Amino acid sequence: MSRKAAKILYFVNIFGGAILFAGLLSFDLIGLANIVAVAMLAVGMYSCYQLRCPACGRWPGKGGMFAHYCPRCGEPLDNE
């Protein structure tokens, strides 16, 4: 997965998941809401894993998501 795809996945997961979660709660579907919360956590962790710096293997952090260079090691990130 490219960093671009991982970023899209990260934001779609947060915003889509939050809307879905709130919608399910408003219909008192607590069981389904819990499943969505667990799925959001899993997808969030997966997308964060994919967003790691390819050079040093560390997560560049929130600001590093749009940075062209890794704030930790200075290596260029694969930003399309």
Q: Does 71 bind Zn ion (CB under 5 A)?
A: no
The CB-of-9 to Zn ion minimum distance in angstroms stands at 20
Q: Does 56 bind Zn ion (CB under 5 A)?
A: yes
Q: Does 79 bind Zn ion (CB under 5 A)?
A: no
CA atoms of 80 and 20, how far apart (whole Å): 29
Burial of 75 (0-12, 13-18, 19+ CB in 10 A): exposed
Q: Does 52 bind Zn ion (CB under 5 A)?
A: no
The CB-of-12 to Zn ion minimum distance in angstroms stands at 25
Q: Does 51 bind Zn ion (CB under 5 A)?
A: no
Q: Binders of Zn ion among 8-47, rule CB under 5 A?
A: none
